[in-house]
Amino acid sequence: MGHVSSATTAAPVRNAFREQQRREAHERYLLCARTVFERLGYHGATVADIVEAANGSRATFYAHFRDKADIAACLFERALPAGAAMYHRVAEFPELTREHMRAWLGEQVLGFWAQYRVEVEAVNHAMGADPAVAARHYHWIAEAVRLAEWPGTGERVGLTRATLLVLQLERLCYHWLVRGVEHDRELMLDILADVWFRELTLLREGAPR
């Protein structure tokens, strides 16, 4: 006699399938949003452009995202694990030296910003349009610093100093690598290495309050 599936076993299968469909739709809209933002820019792009690129519907879009600023924020969130891993590598240096700092900045930090240029530009415009996205962005930075596990960031003063250091770097990289403000690359790396080496040394030694 054949096996008859009960309603209780069929329901989880259906729910798992729907969840997979939901995740796939969410990812499709994000990928299409990136393509549209890259082609038209954040301000030139519309929700209709993203929906058309995804071959979807407005109803499906709004089931996943609040608006254009929200999808830009969610797009940037996809880069956060890579950013957190990048900052965590500093804690793995065998020795904190200016040379290690400069190499990390030149190879990994600048590479990260080049790779995620579209996401960074979109979320920066979204922050200007939506204070909630700006608040999310600050939370992301603080969380990335916390996950980096740098010595000295276990207390509030150290965490605040480290967060400000990352915010300063992000502002520079945004204007330099995303908006195209010209800088001498070698000179800028020298200055950044000096600043980061000094600040991380203070964190490790315990900065005065």
CATH of the domain at 83: 1.10.357
From 65, 96, 112, give the residue that closes a domain.
65
* Cα–chain center distance at 112: 10
**Do the domain assignments include residue 72?**
no
| Closest among 197, 196, 206 to 155, alpha carbons compared | 206
Instruction: Judge if 50 and 139 occupy the same domain.
Output: no
In this prediction, residue 205 carries a pLDDT of 86
3 state SS of 36:
helix
In the structure encoding, which two tokens stand for residue 49, read together?
């452009």
**Do the domain assignments include residue 22?**
yes
Instruction: Judge if 117 and 190 occupy the same domain.
Output: yes
CATH of the domain at 18: 1.10.10
Q: Measure the CA–CA gap between 140 and 134, rounded to whole angstroms.
A: 10
From 65, 90, 110, give the residue that closes a domain.
65
**Do the domain assignments include residue 94?**
yes
Instruction: Judge if 113 and 191 occupy the same domain.
Output: yes
Enclosing domain of residue 28: 7-65
Instruction: Judge if 87 and 177 occupy the same domain.
Output: yes
| Closest among 76, 83, 117, 180 to 68, alpha carbons compared | 76
3 state SS of 79:
coil
3 state SS of 7:
helix
**Do the domain assignments include residue 86?**
yes
Note the pTM of the prediction, 2 decimals.
0.84
Instruction: Judge if 98 and 188 occupy the same domain.
Output: yes
Instruction: Judge if 87 and 131 occupy the same domain.
Output: yes
What are the average pLDDT values for consecutive 10-residue runs of the chain, which has 209 residues?
57 74 92 98 97 96 97 95 93 93 96 94 95 93 91 90 94 94 96 96 77
Q: Measure the CA–CA gap between 112 and 106, rounded to whole angstroms.
A: 10
CB pairs under 8 A, 24+ apart, for 46-55? 54/28, 54/29
In this prediction, residue 15 carries a pLDDT of 80
CA distances from 91 to 71, 150, 175, 201 (A): 32, 5, 27, 12
In this prediction, residue 2 carries a pLDDT of 53
State how many domains the chain has: 2
**Do the domain assignments include residue 2?**
no
**Do the domain assignments include residue 101?**
yes
Instruction: Judge if 85 and 181 occupy the same domain.
Output: yes
Instruction: Judge if 93 and 146 occupy the same domain.
Output: yes
Instruction: Judge if 82 and 124 occupy the same domain.
Output: yes
In this prediction, residue 22 carries a pLDDT of 87
Instruction: Judge if 86 and 150 occupy the same domain.
Output: yes
- Which residues are CB-contacts of 197 (< 8 A; sequence separation ≥ 6)? 96, 97, 98, 101
**Do the domain assignments include residue 127?**
yes
Q: Measure the CA–CA gap between 5 and 157, rounded to whole angstroms.
A: 59
**Do the domain assignments include residue 47?**
yes
